[in-house]
Amino acid sequence: MLFLAGLSAQASAEDAPMQPGLWSMDIRGKTQISASQTVPVERSMKICVKPGQKPETVVVPMDGDQCTREQSPAADGGTRWTFHCDLPQAKVTQTGTLRYGPTTFESSWTIDSVTPSGATTHTDVQVNGKRLGSDCGSLK
């Protein structure tokens, strides 16, 4: 999925209040692929947050030639993101929020896509992260 595309980007240290190290990331939600069919979305993974990595690069898609993005402050103190991507396989709109601190983050996303044939999907996911420690081990 697009919201995991930015896992390895880096930025300057003054922009990153998240502590570097090993983090767990749990993704939970559902995708509606037809009026009568919903598929659960469940994934857990570990990521290595680098010193100076901007928090949004952990869960927010990075810019690409086929996507535009807008960001604005969210009412809860986090950041609201909107992406519009015109990909060969689908037109995708992704809207989400991100709130983070030194050892945790929360992000929620709504992702709508339409294929050239007109098939649509709607996905709602919640992403929660927690710092596990300073050593990423062999995880890069």
pLDDT digit string, tens, across residues 63-76:
567 888 888 888 87
- Amino acid, res. 67: C
Residue 138: both structure tokens together: 């062999």
Every domain of the chain and the residues it spans: 2-133
| Of 118, 127, 137, the residue nearest 55 (C-alpha) | 127
Residue 119 CB neighbour total at 10 angstroms: 11
The domain made up of 2-133 has a fold known as Lipocalin (2.40.128)
Q: Where are the alpha helices (DSSP H) in 22-125?
A: 56-59
Q: What pTM value is reported for the model?
A: 0.77
- Which residues of the chain, if any, have pLDDT below 70? 1-16, 61-64
